[in-house]
Amino acid sequence: MTIQAPAKVNLALRILNKRADGFHEIDTLMAPVTLADEIDIKVFKGSGIELACSDPAVPADSSNLVWRAAEAFAARIGQTFCTSIVLRKNIPSGAGLGGGSSDAAAVLVALNQLLDARLTEDELEAICATLGSDIPFFIRSRPAICRGRGEILIPAGPLPEANLLLVKPPFPVPTAWAYKAWATCSRTDNDAKKQFLGDIELSNDLEYPVFEKFLLLPAIKSWLIAQPEVSAAMMSGSGSTLFAILNGDADRLAERVCARFGEHIWTCACRIKAP
């Protein structure tokens, strides 16, 4: 089976407090986008996991969420099998786009079909919750308000159509560091003007600590907001990707981004994925 694993953007992200379990209580609106990894997966008799990835920087061992998802699925159904998984990465790592989480969820969905395990979406989401906070979202890959650690999903209904340009500098932002730094960062307004997609107010509490440390990111965001093709711009998740909501041509804007900030900047035109 070949399956798509879509990226996501956080249209709104509020951090409410730190929980007793060490995680943070969040309230976030996430939307899948048309940028996606592609996963080839096969199942054989026997036992074991074979994992290969087109990106040599991504580990192809038991530290990969995909590997852990396959192990968790086998434990859940109580069945031994051998699986071969090939990841073709289009979503950059450390980008705040949920690539690794989406890959893990896609593998669970694929194994459920290939092995005819007939687990429900709720049961698959429960497996996901044991692997990572935002992984349950990707089982359905539909716009959702995510609460708790991110595992409590409330369908958000259809979102306004939007074309996006994703912009990522050549460095990741560690998610754990960003959440830890949030507790001690200053809370200065990053924008004098509120930004919206339809009636959705765009926000991201993690911009405060991330922008304090990675000064290129607020520079890119401010520059994007000033461009005529852009109606709004925001960081996704813990970064380092920024997304611009477009009312103009993505290709011309991407060319100017690279001309202004360097050819090492990664860009990708995409759109919010329809349900």
Any idea which residues carry the catalytic annotation?
8, 134
- Asked if the bond preceding 101 is cis, omega within 30° of 0, the reply is no
Q: Characterize the bridge pairing of strands 144-148 and 152-155.
A: antiparallel
Instruction: Tell me which residue of 59, 83, 60 sits closest to 71, measured CA to CA.
Output: 83
Distance (Å, rounded) from C-alpha 190 to C-alpha 193? Answer: 9
E strand or H helix that includes residue 220 = helix 216-225
Q: Under a CB-based contact definition with an 8 Å cutoff, are residues 242 and 167 in contact?
A: yes
Structure tokens belonging to residue 64: 């990969």
Dist CA 154 CA 121 (whole Å): 14
Tell me 159's DSSP state: P
